[in-house]
Amino acid sequence: MPEGMNTVTSITTNQLRRYGKPIVFLALLVPAIWLTWNWWLAFQYQPNGLGFNPQETSNRFTGDWAMRILLMSLALSPLAKLIKSPKPILFRRMVGLFAFFYVCLHITSYVWLDMLFDWVELWADVMKRLYITVGFAAFLLFIPLAVTSTKGWIKRLSARRWQTLHRSVYVIGVLVIVHFIMMRKGFQAEPLIYAGILATLYLLRVKRVRALLGRA
C-alpha cells in the first residue's frame, strides 16, 4: 500500500467524524455559495462571474456540480475496497445528499431563473426535449434514495432491501451521462471524459477487476 494511503487509514474514525465531516461539508458548499453570491450581484447589476448568459451559466454550473458530486459519491465504495478500509463510507451519505442538493439547485436554476416558472412551457420542454426527459427521469429516481438515506429507513427497509433500492444509483449515473451527452451539440470530448470516469467506477465494483488491480 502506498504511503499516502497509510496516512489516510491512520486517521481515526473519530477524527474523521469530528473534523473530516465538517471540512468536506463546507468544501461541498463552496460552489453553491459562489453561485448564490454571483446571482445576488447580478440582480444588483454588479460585476459578477456569470458571464453574458447568466441563465445558461448557472444551469450548466449546477448540472456540472451535481454530476461531479454524484460521481464522487459513487467513488467512495470502490475507494474503500481499494484501500481496504471502511472509512470512506463515512462520507457516503453526506456526499450523496449533496449531489441531490445540487440537482435541486440545477432544477431551481432551470425552472426559476431560466424558465421563470412558465409551467406550460416547462411541461412542453420536459416532454418534447428528450434530454430533459432523461434528466427528469434521473431526478425522479434520485428522490427515493434521498428520502431513504437515514438510519431509520435502513432499519425499516432491512439492510438488504435498502441496498437493492440504492443500487438504482447506477441507473441514475447512466441517465445523467446520457443527459449530458445529448445536450451538447456535435461530438464533444467533455461528456465522454465523464462517461469514462463513470465506466471506470462501475468496473472497479467488479471483484475480478479489483483482483487484477491488486495483483498488478
Q: Could you list the residues that contact other proteins (CB under 8 A)?
A: 38, 41-42, 45-56, 116, 121, 124-125, 128-131, 182-190
CB nearer to other proteins: pick between 82 and 125 = 125
Q: Of these partners, ligand HEM, other proteins, none, which one is at the site of residue 188 (CB under 5 to 8 Å by kind)? A: other proteins
How is residue 206 written as a grid cell?
467488479
In angstroms, what is the minimal distance from the CB of 124 to other proteins? 6
CA nearest neighbour of 66 among 88, 43, 35, 112: 35
* Residues 202, 169, 100, 119, CA torsion sign: positive
Q: Which is nearer to ligand HEM, 90 or 165 (CB)?
A: 165
119 binds, among other proteins, ligand HEM, none (CB under 5 to 8 A by kind): none
**How near is the Cβ of 186 to other proteins at its closest, in Å?**
4
176: partner contacted, choices other proteins, ligand HEM, none (Cβ within 5-8 A by kind): ligand HEM
Q: Which amino acid is it at 120?
A: V
The b/e string for 26-36 (b: 16+ C-beta within 10 A; e otherwise) is eebeebbeebe
Sign of CA dihedral 66, 67, 72, 77: positive
